[in-house]
Amino acid sequence: MMPLPRARGGTDGSCGPARDDFVALGGGMPDEKWPVEMCVSAPTTPGDVRRNGFAWFPLHDGIHRRGQFSMYLRMVGMEVRSTYGPTLDEP
């Protein structure tokens, strides 16, 4: 297993190209000119989503899914590694 980076600088090598692609996608447009119609599968009305909302959604969704997966691992009796701090499985 690959060791986790100790500092943020260790992840810049893998995140940098994705960040550059996202910036290029926006083309330097201001938020006022970046409305995106986002379809949601909830009983709410979809609305305009600004660039920052569009960028944060996948991150928050990934955090939510990781939490769900951790819960399922614990339910089947597997050891859950720490995410933000120690878990019950770690001394």
Say whether 14 sits in a helix, a strand or coil.
Answer: helix
Query: Tell me: the pLDDT tens digits for 50-73?
Result: 666 777 778 888 888 888 888 888
What phi, psi does 78 have (nearest 5°)? Answer: -85, 160
pTM over cut 0.75: no
Distance, in Å, from the CA atom of 34 to the CA atom of 62, rounded to the nearest integer, reads: 23
Note the pLDDT of residue 17.
Answer: 72
Looking at per-residue pLDDT, the higher value among 16 and 76 belongs to 76
Average pLDDT rounded to a whole number, residues 9-18:
62
In the block, residue with structure tokens 């339910």: 75
Note the pLDDT of residue 70.
Answer: 86
